[in-house]
Amino acid sequence: MTGLTPAASMAGPSPEASLVERLGVRLHPSGPGADPRVLLGLALRRNPRRAQLLVSRVLGKHVPTEPRLVRAAGLLLGGLVDDALAGRPARALPLALLHAAVGGDRDATAALHVQAQEAIGPPSGALVLGFAETATALGHCVAEGLGGAEVLHSTRRPVPGFATAGGFTEEHSHATDHLLLPADAGLLRDGRPLVLVDDELSTGRTALNTIKALHRSTPRAHYVVAALVDVRAPGGELAAGVAELGARLDVVALARGRVELPADLAARAGALRAELDARPASRHTCAQTPTRGTVVVPRVELGALGWPPGVPAGARHGFDAAAHRALAAALPGLARDLVRAAGLRAGERTLVLGTEELMQLPLRLAQTLADAGHVVAFSTTTRSPAVVADEPGYALTSGITFPAHDDPADGAGPRYAYNVGAAQWDHVLVVVDPPADTEALRAGLLPALAPYTRRTTLVVTP
């Protein structure tokens, strides 16, 4: 069973110990559900607020993952949310299938995805909010699991013409400010149950900040917080904070665990970073973008492939039940046309790479291609800097870095894609929305990918 290596003793790890052992972080299962040591790996952040990075194996952010596993995990989480909204006991999860799928069993992955889709119930009246950037697709999948519930995700990208309906702070994140930009200003004001979705609950502070900010303008009777993994310490502030508002809170997760941190974690992490930074760059840092100018790759516009009229490419401004239905109906045809337009070939290893918050549509395209028999993995780029180390048991074994390519409001800065070097890809499909289809993309991410793939195609959303 793959999992986090137990921490070394208080006397300190030996020099021969693995990088994970020397960091000294231990993860213990607690409560029902999946084994968090199966769903998570461990890496080092480059972030003074928190040393450790719990790397999900079912999210499709830092690790190229079979897209049907990513979607199935989100649908299963949606089922647990549905039970909480209805006041029912939580349903049993197909843990054997889930663990086998994480282990790479393609048959288990396909079966898990089918089972998760078959468990989708009737439409829910709740509103789902996914947190950027890691949980934009996860929130969308939870909304699908609720029968096509309305969903919105937070964003770090101000958009002309869309007024800010709210905002909040994520203290431990590398990029902390979130905006809420619904197209319908009334979306957040109707008082219906609110489901907040994140990939990991470590303290619950981000969820509580959001609930407090929204509750001030529109009090609600019921909140549900959903995460793939809940590793909060007992007696945390989330439950107490919601209780002070006079509201009901349910927290659901696919896995629950407890993180044990050594007292000298900051010193250990600093020493490990310094040691790794002294090694040859190829062993511990993200490869830098080649300085060879812009590159030209084939470009496919989804708008020319029969994209359903009026359906947004994501939930940054809201995504309702009609949009869920229209996208689901259009996806098989879109995927077939994408195969033709991009020249995908049977049997090739293809990576569908989303970009930062743009996760949901790349995921659904990748999942539809996998359903059609293509060998596909899915992951996305990120703002989060982390340490790369080609070490046994370490979660981030390779990575690339490149400049931002969507003219971000908080200024240009480096962006990252992890574990893209874990395989030599036959084809990488890079999916961007129009604001990210820039010369900076052609001078940054696209040439940075070139050493890892035989072919690259740029896919642009409407």
91 in Cβ contact with 85 (< 8 Å): no
Pick the residue with more confidence: 46 or 377? 377
CA distance 257 to 104: 23
If we measure between CA atoms, which residue out of 163, 208, 161, 206 comes closest to residue 187? 163
DSSP SS3 for 171: coil
Q: Determine which of 4-18, 182-196, 294-308 has the lowest per-residue pLDDT on average.
A: 4-18
CA distance 56 to 41: 6
Average pLDDT over residues 49-71: 95
Q: Which pLDDT score, from 0 to 100, does residue 61 have?
A: 97
End-to-end CA gap in the chain? 42
Task: Answer yes or no: is pLDDT of 248 > 80.
Answer: yes
If we measure between CA atoms, which residue out of 441, 357, 433 comes closest to residue 405? 441
pLDDT band at 16 (very low <50, low <70, confident <90, very high): low
DSSP 204-268: SHHHHHHHHHHHHHS--SEEEEEEEEE-PPTT-HHHHHHHHTT-EEEEEEEEEEEEE--TTHHHH
Task: Answer yes or no: is pLDDT of 9 > 60.
Answer: no
| Identical topology for domains 67-260 and 286-460 | yes
> Domain 286-460, CATH 3.40.50 — does that match?
yes
Burial of 282 (0-12, 13-18, 19+ CB in 10 A): exposed
Task: Answer yes or no: is pLDDT of 157 > 90.
Answer: no
- Please enumerate in sequence order all residues whose Cβ is within 8 A of that of 380, keeping only pairs 6 or more positions apart, or say none: 60, 61, 133, 353, 354, 355, 356, 358, 359, 362, 417
Task: Answer yes or no: is pLDDT of 25 > 80.
Answer: yes
State percent of the chain over pLDDT 90: 80
Task: Answer yes or no: is pLDDT of 171 > 90.
Answer: no
Mean pLDDT score of the chain, rounded to an integer? 91
Domain ranges of the chain: 67-260, 286-460
Average pLDDT over residues 333-357: 97
Task: Answer yes or no: is pLDDT of 222 > 80.
Answer: yes
Beta-bridged to residue 128, according to DSSP, are 151, 195
Residue range 190-219, pLDDT digits in tens: 999 999 999 999 999 999 999 999 999 999
Average pLDDT over residues 369-395: 95
pLDDT band at 412 (very low <50, low <70, confident <90, very high): confident
Half-sphere exposure of 289 (CA within 13 A, CB side): 23
CA distance 6 to 262: 11
If we measure between CA atoms, which residue out of 62, 59, 68 comes closest to residue 369? 68
Q: Which pLDDT score, from 0 to 100, does residue 407 have?
A: 85
Q: Which pLDDT score, from 0 to 100, does residue 11 have?
A: 45
Task: Answer yes or no: is pLDDT of 143 > 60.
Answer: yes
H or E element: which one contains 362? helix 360-371
DSSP 93-144: P-HHHHHHHHTT-HHHHHHHHHHHHHT--SPP--EEEEPTTTTHHHHHHHHH
Pick the residue with more confidence: 71 or 32? 71
Q: For residue 265, which amino acid is it? A: L
404 in Cβ contact with 357 (< 8 Å): no
CATH topology of domain 67-260: Rossmann fold (3.40.50)
Q: Which pLDDT score, from 0 to 100, does residue 167 have?
A: 65
Q: Determine which of 42-51, 55-64, 435-444 has the lowest per-residue pLDDT on average.
A: 42-51
pLDDT band at 415 (very low <50, low <70, confident <90, very high): very high
Q: Which pLDDT score, from 0 to 100, does residue 172 have?
A: 46
Average pLDDT over residues 4-29: 68
Pick the residue with more confidence: 23 or 284? 23
